[in-house]
Amino acid sequence: MPKVIINGKMYPAEVGETILEVARRNGAHIGFVCDGQGYCATCECKVLEGAELLDKPTRNEKTWLANRLDENYRLGCQTQIKEEGEIQVISRAEILRRQFIYSFAPPVGQSRLKNTQQLVGSLTEITTGLLKHAPSSVPGLIREVGPFRFAFPWRSVSGVLGDLVKVINNSGSGSKLSALPESRNTNVKIIVETVKPAELPTPVQVAPTPPPPAPVAKVEAPAPVQVAPTPPPPAPKFERDNLQKLEGIGPRISSVLNRSGIYTYKHLAETPVVVLQEILLAEGLKLNDPTSFPTQAKLALEGKWEELQALQDRLKGGQL
């Protein structure tokens, strides 16, 4: 099973999932303004380890990230896990959060000025990228997904709000700033830096006042108690069915359904056909007909594999 470390915390994942899906399921701090459709760039991440375990950049990533792809930046909603192994990323949202906090309360060894420079550099880089690519990309996106879907991208408002609450609850327990990517605008590294002696005031030497003598009784300390370490809890598991067993569903459609919250035969069987059509159209899959998906999923859910095979023998690409 792949393991994804997001902002310093490790989460279990599955091959075929996107970084954003793993992050939202576990409440990791990452942006998802467009609900994972690939045009807001708020889910941007820096891949620190395991880039070879991820799929190739998509068209949306090449549009919005441009030369930042060479620095291992990816869009979490577009980046799928293709192999098992350990992957480590840090989200752009988490980088900005830490830079903002450290601009007011820097850790020991850092200065407010350096952290403020890094924050301004990151915001400038993001704003410049949006101003550069939005005028040429937004009209095409509106034509592709439609004006309504572009303005109101959330497929499930309750799902977005639920994931947002998980992010807020978990954001206060993030890992310490230890090693972050380099900022090209400020030419400084976002790491713990040693403050130069000239930046610190000269300490005033005060002679300590000697305490009055007092008799000291020798007390032997008790032997330390050896406590066995508590084993870590098992990694959480979540329910997932192989939707690709159904006729007409390949890797891409399976990934699209997963991003819409459909992971099991039960979810698929209970989803109306008109909703499935809207999901596929929003991803540009106009030629795929999901009419038979709920029926196939119901047979698979009930374990009626012979009936399912007979139905699939009559289907072609999911159509009768």
- Quick one: pLDDT at residue 85? 92
Of 47-61, 156-170, 229-243, the range with the highest mean pLDDT is 47-61
The residue type found at 309 is: Q
In a domain, 128, yes or no: yes
Query: Is-contact 259 18, C-beta < 8 A?
Result: yes
Q: How far is CA 198 from CA 62, 104, 201, 204, 294, in A?
A: 44, 20, 8, 15, 70
20 plus 96 within the same structural domain: yes
Confidence category of residue 303, pLDDT binned at 50, 70, 90: very high
Query: Is-contact 100 171, C-beta < 8 A?
Result: no
- Quick one: pLDDT at residue 152? 62
In a domain, 202, yes or no: no
In a domain, 232, yes or no: no
Residue 94 has pLDDT above 50, yes or no: yes
Ranking 65-69, 85-89, 95-99, 206-210 by mean pLDDT, the lowest is 206-210
Q: How far is CA 124 from CA 106, 115, 142, 216, 247, in A?
A: 21, 14, 26, 63, 48
Residue 194 has pLDDT above 60, yes or no: no
Query: Is-contact 290 257, C-beta < 8 A?
Result: no
Domain final residue, candidates 131, 165, 191? 191
What b/e sequence results for 135-147 when a residue is b if at least 16 CB atoms lie within 10 Å of its CB, and e otherwise? eeeeeebeeebee
Which run of H or E residues covers position 142? helix 112-145
167 plus 41 within the same structural domain: yes
136 plus 45 within the same structural domain: yes
In a domain, 175, yes or no: yes
In a domain, 211, yes or no: no
174 plus 268 within the same structural domain: no
262 plus 159 within the same structural domain: no
71 plus 133 within the same structural domain: yes
Ranking 144-153, 185-194, 230-239 by mean pLDDT, the lowest is 185-194
Give the CATH number of the domain where residue 12 resides: 3.10.20.30
Query: Is-contact 262 271, C-beta < 8 A?
Result: yes
Q: Give pLDDT tens digits for 21-68.
A: 999 999 898 887 887 777 788 899 999 999 999 999 988 888 878 778
Q: Which domain holds residue 35?
A: 3-191
Report d(CA 128, CA 206) in Å as an integer.
52
Residue 204 has pLDDT above 60, yes or no: no
What's the structural domain count of the chain?
2
